[in-house]
């Protein structure tokens, strides 16, 4: 979907979605890993980054995250979403549920 480029509020923007290996139990960095990131720009361009692209490096996830940050810095506005479920912020409870 292409967002109206005439709207200055969304010019040079992108949506991002991350994929990762889930973990069970108490959090430990060794139990989880970001595996990919996908960007979709306001002009409809898609950028996909996969950890497999960096497998020749000693720490592929670190290299992937660097490229994710580099792409985030290319845009004035980025939007992310949580597609596993629905979460929202409650003003009354002052918490995410």
Per-residue pLDDT of the chain (97 residues; tens, 9 = 90+): 555 556 666 678 898 998 888 766 676 666 668 899 999 998 889 999 999 999 999 999 999 999 999 999 999 988 886 655 555 656 676 665 5
Distance of CA 29 to the CA centre of its chain: 18
Rounded Cα gap, residues 4 and 10, in angstroms: 8
**N-terminal to C-terminal alpha carbon distance within the chain:** 29
37 burial level (CB within 10 Å; 0-12, 13-18, 19+): buried
3-state secondary structure 34-73: EEEEEEEECCCCEEEEEHHHHCCCCCHHHHHHHHHHHHHC
Domain ranges of the chain: 1-23+30-83
Structure confidence at residue 62 (pLDDT): 93
pTM, to two decimals: 0.70
Rounded Cα gap, residues 47 and 37, in angstroms: 8
Nearest CA to 64 out of 25, 94, 38 is that of: 38
Tokens at 3, concatenated: 């967002």
């Amino acid at each position: 979907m292409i967002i109206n480029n005439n709207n200055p509020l969304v010019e040079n923007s992108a949506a991002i979605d991350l994929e990762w290996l889930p973990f069970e139990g108490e959090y430990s960095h060794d139990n989880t890993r970001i595996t990919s990131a996908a960007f979709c720009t306001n002009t409809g361009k898609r950028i996909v980054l996969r950890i497999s692209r960096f497998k020749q490096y000693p720490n592929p996830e670190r290299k992937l995250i660097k490229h994710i940050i580099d792409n985030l810095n290319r845009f004035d506005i980025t939007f992310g979403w949580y597609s596993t479920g629905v979460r929202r912020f409650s003003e009354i409870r002052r918490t995410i549920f």
